Amino acid sequence: MIQIQAFAHKDNHIKHFVLTNNNGICAKITNYGAILTSLTLPLESGEREIVLGFDSLKDYKNKSYLKDYPYFGAIIGRYANRINQGKVRIDGKTIQLPTNHGKHHLHGGYSGFDKRTWDAEIVGKSRLQLSLLSMDGDEDFPGNMKLTVIYELNDENELAIYYSATCDKTSPINLTSHTYFNFTGGEENILNHELQIDSDQILENNTELIPTGKYLDVKHTAFDFRAQKKINQDIKAVENYDNCFVLKTEGKTLKKVAEVYEEKSNISMEVSTDFPGLQLYTGMFINIEGHKKFGPFSGLALETQGYPDAPNQENFSHGFIHPGEVYQHQTRYKFHF
């Protein structure tokens, strides 16, 4: 079932879409930024909010939130993650993208898909379709890009996100959902959550979190999540996780790639995707004035996506879309409680 609610007092084009399954799980999505604003589970102790987000558009545009912008729940594009110095070569020409994160490009630039008003259409009892046209030159990206993102909440307790895009010029592309999870409902941080990631390697980064093009084995390192462990077990060695894990999803096969569990709530979440990478971010730099529960480590982001800076790395695939191609990926979050 999908209900439509107002989300902005002065803008009738921005709505809140409430998806509820037959088991009582409720997902709320706004067509501003295609943001997943809320996801609640019906526990015996009461309704439990498990993602970071706000109840109104005003909060998403608040200066204290945008100051150290954590992109709560938004769909990110045209290019999620980082592009080194914002430079990309296409057909022998260098394109300069906005450098909105120091000297690098991050998450689509100053006004990415996270700040756009998407067209919304209910396409089934459990499916919400959001569409966007990103014009040629948008944030200096080439080509007219047409995008579709579908959210689906089914009765198997899965929240699925389907991504699709075409473009009439060769363009960098990397879409993701920047949702943060916290199964304690904000009562505690995420450091005691247990995490398992089916990955033998991460991308090596330089000190500015730009990939070097090399792969590092996780064995005997703080990045080894092949067996489930608490996030805080090895975090002192790295201070904060903000790394891309190499997934075993060759051939665009939908596969379970990660699982999160929190003992007190007895909530677990399986993540399945056909994306090649998973960016783990433990939220050390979340700090929103006036919102005590939105501080460091208040949320865990598991961003299924392509590799950061792929357009500049010869041995990374998935960095571009070409005319005539269809970019398609999906991610599913399955809940047990």
Query: Quick one: average pLDDT of 177-206?
Result: 97
Query: Quick one: average pLDDT of 243-266?
Result: 93
Beta pairing partners, 16: 5, 30
Q: What are phi and psi of 67, to 5 degrees?
A: -60, -55
pLDDT of residue 10: 73
Number of folded domains that form the chain: 1
Positive or negative: CA dihedral 247, 169, 136, 14: negative
pTM for this one?
0.96
Q: Which residues are annotated as a binding site for beta-D-galactose?
A: 81-82, 178-180, 242
Q: Which residues contact 140 (CB under 8 A, 6 or more apart)?
A: 95, 96, 97, 98, 109
| Active-site residue flag, 107 | no
pLDDT of residue 231: 98
Mapped onto helix, strand or coil, the DSSP state of residue 252 is: coil
pLDDT of residue 8: 79
Considering the candidates 105, 303, 318, 329, report the single residue annotated as catalytic: 303
Report residue 134 as tokens: 């990103």
Count of CB atoms situated within 10 Å of the CB of 11: 12
Place of tokens 């460091």: 296
Q: Which residues are annotated as a binding site?
A: 81-82, 178-180, 242
pLDDT of residue 12: 78
User: Is pLDDT above 90 for 95?
Assistant: yes
Q: How far apart are CA 233 and CA 286, in angstroms?
A: 20
pLDDT of residue 75: 98
Considering the candidates 178, 193, 318, 329, report the single residue annotated as catalytic: 178
Q: How far apart are CA 280 and CA 264, in angstroms?
A: 22
Q: How far apart are CA 54 and CA 212, in angstroms?
A: 36
| Active-site residue flag, 303 | yes
Please give the residue range of the domain that contains residue 299.
2-336
CATH, residue 262: 2.70.98.10
Task: Tell me how many degrees the CA angle 69-162-8 measures, rounded to the nearest 5.
Answer: 45
Beta-strand pair 277-281/242-246: antiparallel
Q: Return the DSSP state at 265.
A: T
Tell me the per-residue pLDDT of 37-64, one tens digit each, with 9 for 90 and over.
999 999 999 999 999 999 999 999 999 9
- Average pLDDT along the chain: 96
% helix, strand, coil for the chain, step of 5: 10, 45, 45
